[in-house]
């Protein structure tokens, strides 16, 4: 395990729960946090640097949960040593970095996976089953959002620097939206994007999260605090993505998705703080509008991500590396569209 922040802890806990898996080592610069995590999970070997950890020739897999600018060098080094890699999202800062990681995995013949834990939620999975059963017919218009009032993950940390993070909420939260939205509607290809980004609040010092959680950085804020993107899909459908770290809105931190289909519609709304949501399905029965509300059991996340990653490792195939690299291309096109003020086509 490389990284001992929140995400790293989720990975480590997930490995520790599984039979037939030994959590053999932890690397992280935050010595007190690293020591506490290692002691809690009974891990004898814990070191400061990832380079030292990767010297262990007995390792089979490595999880990478560190600041985004370190994903590519660590993942490639691990793959070149013959290790399978599970990387936190986003896969990388740029499409070029993502492509290099995918190429390294292919050359090494190893699995590269990316931790898209939101698609593993039980309510997302329940909605997917409804769509697969034909309850919505053909989806043609989808809107996915993740909106916060004051949710910038520590103003001035590595998270608010384009150089170290790759962007703001679009690359942080928006990549989750893209992943689970496209997963739900059958993985159509994105053909064009038209996006706008704004940094009017974060650059003025508004919107910092009440509980700081990120460190490092130069103290600057040079990323967006709100992004909106209109995406055309190759199946004729449309996807609208809206995400913010800081906006003058209700205090609720909320994410969700609305899908309109030819036979019905659905809307999922999740309270980020509580982690619980409501799934509503809209249809028509004998010419009469019908509404059904579902309350799927809470749960689904990094445990399922890690388990599926290890299943792919054992099978010798699978992983979300290439798909995550494609999402990196979409996010990059959104940023280029916002900068140019025009629609961008993805070749």
Task: Flag whether pLDDT at 139 surpasses 70.
Answer: yes
pLDDT at 53: 97
3-state secondary structure of 56: coil
**259-295 burial code (b ≥16 CB/10 A, e <16):** bbbeebbbbbbbebeeeebebebbbeeeeeeeeeeee
CATH code of 120-300, in short, is 3.30.360.10
Sequence-distant (6+) residues with CB within 8 A of 284 are 264, 290
Beta bridge partners of 282: 265, 291
Structural domain boundaries in the chain: 6-117, 120-300
CATH of domain 6-117: 3.40.50.720
- 175-200 confidence digits (pLDDT tens): 999 999 999 999 999 999 999 999 99
**What pLDDT shows up at residue 212?**
57
- 95-108 confidence digits (pLDDT tens): 999 999 999 999 99
pTM: 0.95
Report the percent of the chain where pLDDT is more than 90: 88
Task: Please write the tens of the pLDDT for every residue from 279-327.
Answer: 999 999 888 999 999 988 878 899 999 999 999 999 999 999 999 999 9
Instruction: Please state, rounded to an integer, the average pLDDT across all residues of the chain.
Output: 95
- Nearest CA to 34 out of 47, 21, 23, 44 is that of 47
Task: Decide if pLDDT at 126 tops 80.
Answer: yes
Q: With a cut of 90, say whether residue 233 has pLDDT above it.
A: yes
Calpha distance 259→4 (Å, rounded): 37
b/e per residue 97-122 (b: at least 16 CB within 10 A): bbbbbbebbeebebbbbbbbbbbbbb
Per-residue model confidence (pLDDT) at position 213: 66
How is residue 174 annotated by DSSP? I
16-55 confidence digits (pLDDT tens):
999 999 999 999 999 999 999 999 999 999 999 999 999 9
């Amino acid at each position: 395990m490389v990284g001992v922040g929140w995400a790293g802890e989720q990975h480590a806990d997930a490995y520790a729960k599984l039979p037939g898996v030994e959590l053999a080592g932890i690397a992280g610069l935050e010595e007190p946090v690293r020591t506490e995590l290692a002691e809690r999970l009974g891990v004898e070997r814990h070191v400061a640097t990832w380079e030292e950890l990767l010297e262990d020739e007995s390792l089979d897999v490595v999880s990478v949960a560190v600041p985004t600018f370190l994903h590519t060098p660590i993942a490639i080094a691990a793959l070149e040593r013959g290790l399978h890699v599970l990387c936190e999202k986003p896969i990388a800062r740029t499409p070029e970095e993502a492509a290099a990681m995918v190429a390294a995995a292919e050359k090494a013949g190893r699995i590269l996976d990316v931790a898209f834990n939101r698609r593993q939620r039980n309510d997302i999975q329940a909605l997917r089953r409804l769509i697969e059963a034909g309850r919505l017919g053909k989806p043609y218009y989808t809107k996915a959002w993740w909106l916060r009032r004051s949710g910038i993950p520590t103003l001035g940390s590595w998270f608010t620097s384009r150089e170290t993070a790759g962007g703001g909420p679009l690359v942080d939260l928006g990549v989750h939206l893209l992943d689970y939205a496209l997963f739900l509607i059958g993985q159509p290809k994105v053909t064009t994007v038209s996006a706008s980004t704004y940094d009017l609040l974060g650059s003025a010092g508004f919107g910092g999260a009440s509980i700081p959680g990120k460190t490092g950085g130069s103290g600057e804020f040079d990323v967006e605090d709100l992004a909106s993107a209109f995406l055309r899909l190759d199946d004729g459908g449309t996807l609208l993505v809206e995400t913010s770290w800081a906006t003058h809105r209700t205090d609720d931190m909320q994410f969700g998705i609305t899908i309109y289909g030819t036979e019905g519609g659905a809307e999922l709304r999740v309270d980020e703080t509580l982690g619980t949501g409501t799934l509503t399905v809209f249809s028509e029965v004998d010419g009469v509008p019908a509404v059904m509300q579902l309350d799927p059991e809470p749960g689904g996340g990094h445990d399922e991500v890690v388990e599926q990653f290890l299943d792919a490792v054992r099978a010798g195939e699978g992983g979300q590396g290439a798909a995550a690299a494609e999402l990196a291309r979409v996010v990059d096109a959104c940023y280029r569209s916002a900068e140019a003020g025009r629609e961008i086509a993805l070749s």
